[in-house]
Structure 1
Amino acid sequence: MGWMADETGLEKTAANHVALTPLSHLRRAAQVFADHTAVIYGSHRVSYREYHARCTRLASALAALGVAPGDVVATLIPNLPAQAEAHFGVPACGGVLNTINTRLDVDTVAYILEHGGAKVLLVDSEFLELATAALARMQGDAPILIETPDLEAGFAASGDHQTYEDLLASGDPGFDWIMPQDEWESLALNYTSGTTGRPKGVVYHHRGAYLMTMGTVVSWRMVLKPVYLTIVPLFHCNGWNHTWMMPMLGGTVVCCRNITPEAIYDAIADHGVTHFGGAPIVLNLLVNAKEEQRRAFDHQVEVFTAGAPPAPATLQKIETLGFHITQVYGLTETYGHVTECLWQGGNWDNLDQAGRAAIKARQGIAFPMMEDITVVDENMQQIPQNASDQGEIVMRGNSVMKGYLKNPEATAEAFAGGYFHSGDIAIQHPDGYIQIADRAKDIIISGGENISSVEVEGVLMGHPAVNLAAVVAKPDDKWGEVPCAFVELKEGHEVSEAEIIAFSRETLAGFKAPKRVVFQELPKTSTGKIQKFELRGIAKSL
């Protein structure tokens, strides 16, 4: 199909076919942008020539430790230079990078190290106790532990392990990178959150990551030499693949260990940050920052936000501060973001601020590297695009995982019908734009009526005293279940439960308004997502 009648001699050769890999970006940048700044963290500042050399030494040193092609190298490191270097150095020796969430418990870290079969573990000194406890709990062979101290943050080496810089010093700067022969070769191993059981190991291939970097440049309208602030954890979908992308553009990665309003505003003012990604909680940090935490800047900062639909009220406020927000959506299984709320202009430009914010809260349309993303019913049929009917978001394209490691049953279930099933419930507008209604497990069914927790949360976030809101189902004898709101107030603000409920009823139908309001700090993951499973447990006991 599609072949010419005579293609004699038209074969794939080394000259006309090279496996796609993000490793190519840094190899090129070492020549094209050799003297341009690649990575900044405190006093650490390296050029692309130096960045490439450090990644090469890492690849060489790991190979000397016995890491062979296909072996896993794990990390327990925040957004620091060593974590960025591992994204190139590990695959450059043929290894598979497994960045582990630094906020996980000992048992889960031990499980991931065992399940993934890590041969080496790079550990930030702050998380050395977590790492050693996890290694002690492992049943199989433990990985070699390399310590990565962070003197900038006051975390000195313990003296009990080889340090990262000593490991680099042992590496050969002339080491020949092991490039993939097949772009389907495994590049990275990421684990899902595992809130309902053991986390699943999501395997990425070189092709998917390469095309993710290309698609992101198009969708983010990027030009040469951007300055990118690492707010999205590099252990979360490999930081949405942005670290692999930056060398393609000669961009500068500004590492950020602790996500605070001061750190973000300082990076923008001091380093001229032009881009960053983050969950809506990051937008709230910026909107609610005290005056003394802010710094002035005179350029527009492009922001990708994802993780949960941001409240329109938050979007309204932040864009007056110099930030241009684009809502994106994706999952660990899709290398990060795969849909974007692409602004169409025209009549959209004439909307008032509230109308613009409402559109920007949509998850939108597929990124260019994806083949198809849509919403279907339980029979895999396209739902009516009427902004009312609901279905599941499904997707297919090159930036979908290879599958779940050592779990063919879960892989087959996820890929049923030729699409990846997200588990997210959404509506589709007449223009095809997708808007999440809820996770399937977060829909509240009260007296036979479906209630979107996202809709209720969006209304509550419009109250001037509310910093964050999460809504879950509370068991109810009469209605089966009813909405229960958990609200985190802004500093210095007070409001009663009755006032919150009355406020919600000004916008929502009575059955959608929360029947209980609990004021507390909301439990969050390391990426800023609210942990609703904890709140469901509290709601059941009320």
Structure 2
Amino acid sequence: MFPGLDSFKPTAESIPPPGNVLRLRLPQHIPVNYHPLVSTYTSSPQPASPSTLKNPLEFLLRAATIYPTKIAIAHPDAKAPAFYAYSIWAQRVQNLAYALIKAGLRPRDRVAVISGNTPMMADAFQGAIAARVVLTPINIRLTRQEVTYILEHSGAKLILVDSEYLHIIEGTPIKIPVVICNDTGRIGDPYEQFLSDGRRFSAGKGWSGLEMDADENFPSTLCYTSGTTGRIMYNFVNSANRLKGVLSTLRGSYLAAVANVVEGQMSADSTYLWILPMFHAGGWTFPWANTLAFATQITMRNVDYSLIWKHLLHSKVTHYCGAPTVQIGIVNAPGAKRPSSPIKAFIAGTLKMLFEVSTRANRDHRRCTHGSSDRFLRANRDYSDSCIWLNTYGPFTRGYPQEAWASLSLEGRSKLMARQGYSFATASDLRVVYRADESPTGPEGELVDVPSDGTTMGEIVTRGNIVMQEYFGDPEATKKAFRGGYFGSGDLAVMHSDGSIAILDRQKDIIISGGENASKLSSHPHVLEVSVVARPHKKWGERAMAFVTLHPQHVSKWEGKHDAFAKDLIAHARKRLPGFACPEWVQVVQELPKTSTGKILKIELRKTVAKL
């Protein structure tokens, strides 16, 4: 299946011993008839209950028991390809856990990891839980100053870093032990030596020497994920404009992973391609969803469309995640062709972008649907439904397909597919509201539901199993985010008469024009990507300015005639949008500024507008 698979030999310390028992040690006094999912939550730092045990690490141990020889991690495109069966990978995770303990880390300590999608990154999501420490994955595209802030704020005690990203931490004033990985999987790699040291430190105790935490509300990950502003954590910025750390729990990670498997229809036949960076919101909990499903994971260090298509066509890929811009790049790559079997693509983006992706995919005779996570789309050649997530652990809602959709036009079907739909089975209440009390200091802020008319906008709020525990070390920001007893997502949406929701925009990105909210620019056949921001207007206060990249097939047509294209695009928009919502200005650019996860950096576009 993968070239080089037969020739790769894992290190001796990666081979599990004979009679290896894949079971963590249970805490004392656990009743025999208890392994509950629901716990009695307490804000106390003490464990909620000694019987509240649900731990996403169990998925890996179960997979290694049932499918020990199945490929769990395939890393075929690196300079030193590596492949690990489930039994081998579980042993490596065990070695990592003991190595972290040997390095002096104690329960609730933070371990930072700086890497692209590599086996080390996959190890870290499992090994941190096994060692009862909190994983802090760091965005590889952040500045040295931002990384320094995260390391300081999180209080990280150790850093696992891929050698390609050493420059990010070089010269930082914070002195923390560093383990370097050369991404080889071979003897002589510092990371492999770290794992070998952990194996020896275990002294043969194996998994029974690692105790499962007794509190399912124990933290699992602490993510500082940059968003579309470049200085934002899950779309909330505090007064100092600092990154925030979102603290997730074992319980939430477990439930979100279960939901991903159920709603995504994942199984032992699934192969997941890592396009979405694992450092982004904990990989949307897919590190654990994959092990629950017994899936094979293919890791790619960077987004490379030729490699992506190699795997989509030849590696039996069934699932992947990414941003709309990545999906557009995939669809328009030179090697793109219709896959021979269904592939579900979980895409995060805006309603307009997902409508466009859905429409284009349908033109290519593929059925696409969407949800939002900032938003969540699933694309499948033969299957039609949708999912989204709202700044939580991962996917949070799903749009269920209806038989009547098949008779609709392309545009009508795409609009319905672009809705975010309804809550996941493991999620809780989902509402679209406005606040009766808009005081920023109001502790409650009574929430009033918008009418289910499909036109009245409000903010999506939610609560329940898949909402973050807190903003780490920032009680005021946590209080503000949970005002009114719900998590305020910052996403503006409408509620339809059938109870489904559709996200329109972020609160901070809505353009006010003459007191009215302007819509996004409709798709144009020659447009590859578009983003709209506000620009000052003498009469109306603000009007929309569109930044556009042209489809490669049509670049030559408009060469030297961008003014003519702007007029054509505006005319196209006026047929579909009210006058105030049409762009007043259009600027053609070679590319749009983006984050490492493919989200458009509107803050950079606003800087451009400020200079005009």
Provide closer, same or farther for how the CA distance between residues 49 and 109 of structure 1 changes in structure 2, counting only shifts above 3 A: same
Give 3-state SS (helix, strand or coil) of 2:484's partner.
helix
**Structure 2 residue identity aligned to 1:229:** L
1:334 aligned residue: 392
2:52 aligned with 1:16, yes or no? no
TM-score (norm. length: structure 1) = 0.90
Deviation, 1:61, is: 0.7
Aligned match of 1:307: 349
**Partner residue in 2 for 1:144:** 177
**How big is each residue's C-alpha offset from its partner over 1:466-521, in whole Å with a ceiling of 9 and x where there is no partner?**
11100011011110000011111222512522222122112111211111111222
Equivalent pair of 2:225/2:281 in contact (CA under 8 Å): no
Q: Partners in 2 of 1:26 and 1:144 — Cα distance?
A: 28
The 3-state SS of whatever aligns with 1:90 is: helix
Question: Does the Cα contact within 8 Å between 1:303 and 1:324 map onto a contact in 2?
Answer: no
Q: Give the superposition deviation at 1:234.
A: 0.4
Q: How does 1:503-518 map to 2 (within 5 A)?
A: 503-518=572-587
Alignment of 1:94-493 (within 5 A): 94-133=132-171, 136-138=172-174, 142-150=175-183, 163-172=190-199, 174-175=206-207, 176-193=209-226, 194-195=231-232, 197-290=241-334, 293-294=335-336, 297-309=339-351, 310-319=353-362, 324-330=367-373, 333-343=391-401, 345-379=402-436, 380-452=447-519, 455-456=520-521, 459=522, 462-491=523-552, 493=555
In structure 1, the partner of 2:65 is: 31
- Listed as ranges, the gaps of 5+ residues in structure 2 are 1-28, 36-51, 375-389, 437-446
Matched, 1:536 2:606: yes
Return the offset for 1:151.
Answer: 5.1
CA drift of 1:321 comes to 5.0
Distance 1:70 1:333 in 2: 23
1:370-417 alpha-carbon deviations (Å, 9 max, x no partner): 111110112211110100101000001111111001110110111111
SS at match of 1:518: strand
* Range 168-177 or range 518-527, more displaced: 168-177
> 1:470 is matched by which residue type in structure 2?
S
> Equivalent residue of 1:132, what SS?
coil
Question: Partner amino acid for 2:70?
Answer: H
1: distance between equivalents of 2:162 and 2:364?
34
Q: Aligned partners of 1:68, 1:94: CA distance in 2, in Å?
A: 7
> In percent, how many aligned pairs have the same letter?
38
**Could you say which residue in structure 2 is the equivalent of 1:4?**
none
Structure 1 pair 321–144 and aligned structure 2 pair: CA distance change class (3 A): farther
**What letter corresponds to residue 280 of structure 2 in structure 1?**
H
SS at match of 1:315: helix
Q: Closer, same or farther in 2 for the Cα pair 1:437/1:526, shift >3 Å?
A: same
Partner-residue secondary structure (3-state), 2:373: strand
Tell me which moved more, 359-368 or 33-42. 359-368
SS of the aligned residue for 1:268 comes to helix
8 Å CA contact 1:484, 1:515 repeated in 2: yes
* Distance in 2 separating the partners of 1:177 and 1:486: 53
Q: Which amino acid aligns with 2:85?
A: S
* Counterparts of 1:320 and 1:93, CA distance in 2: 49
- The total of aligned residue pairs comes to 512
Return the alpha-carbon distance in structure 1 between the equivalents of residues 225 and 244 of structure 2.
Answer: 5
RMSD: 2.0
Comparing 252-261 with 404-413, greater Cα deviation is found at: 252-261
Letter in 1 for 2:544: P
Query: How far apart, in 1, do the equivalents of 2:250 and 2:364 lie?
Result: 38
Question: What is the CA distance between 1:342 and its match in structure 2?
Answer: 2.5
Change (3 A) 1:262 1:323: farther
Q: Is the 8 A contact 1:427 1:436 kept in 2?
A: yes
Q: Shift in Å at residue 464 of structure 1?
A: 2.2
Seen in structure 2, the aligned counterparts of structure 1 residues 342 and 501 have a Cα distance that, compared at 3 Å, is same
Distance in 2 (alpha carbons) for counterparts of 1:441 and 1:516 = 20
Distance 1:151 1:275 in 2: 26
**Do the aligned partners of 1:124 and 1:150 also contact (CA within 8 Å) in 2?**
yes
Give the aligned residue type for 2:596: S
Shift of 1:333: 4.4
Q: Post-superposition shift, 1:66?
A: 0.5
Q: TM-score, normalised by structure 2?
A: 0.80
Q: Who is 2:24 aligned against?
A: none
- Give the 4+ runs in structure 1 shifted more than 6 A: none
Residues of 2 paired with 1:333 and 1:19: CA distance?
A: 25
By how many angstroms is 1:14 displaced? 4.5
- Unaligned stretches of 5+ residues in structure 1: 1-10
